[in-house]
Chain A
Amino acid sequence: MNIEIILFLILGLVAAISSVMMITRKNAVISAVFLVLNFFALAGLYLLLNAQFIAVVQVIVYAGAIMVLFLFVLMLLNTEAEHKLFIDKKGIKFFAIFIAAFVFIEIAFLIFKGSPSKNLSPEQVASINSGTIETIGQQLYTNYIIPFEVSGFLLLAATIGALVLAKKKFE
């Protein structure tokens, strides 16, 4: 067995199991820690896909910045664990799981029916440079400079909005 497949199986299992654990833990802090584990597994998968830049940004931005923000809010609000994890009406719970399973079966069916890997040419599969920082930086500062600037403006607006919302006293 090839090392790439072994790594994929390990990282994929960690990602899948940690995502399921995240939605089934009663304590929100433990959910957040499992989400961090999921983000690290995803970063490993991005490395397997030759996307070095995205892998590093995933660890820094998601596992670092966003999850610290979540944990800070959990600490500030100090909410008790959900006593009833699933809604007491059993029907709604089973309906939710049914909807989720249906969505998954539908997507998986479409993926295998379309079988996108059959249409790939060998030189496309062989290309390894698409994820390097050099390629992405070049694209980002030439063809995608306007979206880049707009996203900077969006972050500024989000900063100001978060400050105003969190400062404001209601009632």
Chain B
Amino acid sequence: MLSIPMEYYLVLSALMFTVGVAGVLIRRNAIVVFMSIELMLNSANLTFVTFSSYLGNSIGQIFVFFVMTVAAAEAAVGLAIIIAIFRNKLSVNIDEINIFKW
């Protein structure tokens, strides 16, 4: 049924995770950094679903369900925090949010 080697999916997932890492390191807009984090969560989900399908075990997909729940909660709270910071500083540039910088 699944005629593609499992490694293809895993390498695609690794590529997406890496792009997410690069996005967090390169971008300055806090919302885009947040979207890169969502990309990394999704690549982890792809790995879970790949192993779940190839091993014939549905527990990986249940874990993906919980990851999605946590990602939704994280997006809501994180965006609320970004709005609060924007009210205070009138900017979402993470270079200007440096109050904790030593």
Contact = CB atoms under 8 A, between A and B. Distances in A.
Interface of A: 2, 4-5, 8, 12, 15-16, 19-20, 22-23, 28, 31-32, 35, 38-39, 42, 45-46, 48-51, 53-54, 57-58, 61-62, 65-66, 69-70, 73-74, 76-77, 79, 82, 84-87, 93, 96-97, 99-101, 103-104, 107-108, 111-112, 115-117, 120, 123-128, 130-131, 135-136, 139-140, 144, 147, 151, 154-155, 157-159, 161-163, 165-166, 168-171
Contacts of A159: 76
A117 B26 contact: no
B81 to A, nearest CB: 6
A19 B39 contact: yes
Contact of B42 (A5, A42, A48, A120): A42
B58 A117 contact: no
20 contacts: A12-B12, A23-B20, A42-B42, A65-B72, A69-B75, A73-B31, A73-B79, A104-B15, A116-B54, A117-B5, A125-B1, A130-B57, A158-B73, A158-B74, A158-B76, A162-B76, A162-B80, A165-B83, A168-B84, A170-B88
B41 to A, nearest CB: 9
Contacts of A111: 7, 10-11, 14
Contacts of B92: 77, 79
Contacts of A77: 31, 82-83, 86, 92
Given A66-B71, A163-B80, 10 more contacts: A8-B8, A16-B19, A19-B15, A31-B35, A73-B79, A77-B31, A79-B29, A96-B26, A130-B56, A158-B72
A162 B78 CA distance: 8
B3 interface: yes
Given A22-B35, A136-B65, A120 B54 contact: yes
Interface centre among A2, A4, A66 (most CB of B within 10 A): A66
Contacts of B11: 108, 111
B77 A155 contact: no
Interface of B: 1-12, 14-23, 25-29, 31-32, 34-36, 38-39, 42, 45-46, 49-59, 61-62, 64-66, 68-77, 79-84, 86-88, 91-93
A63 B5 CA distance: 28
Given A8-B4, A108-B11, A117-B5, A140 B19 contact: no
A16 B15 CA distance: 7
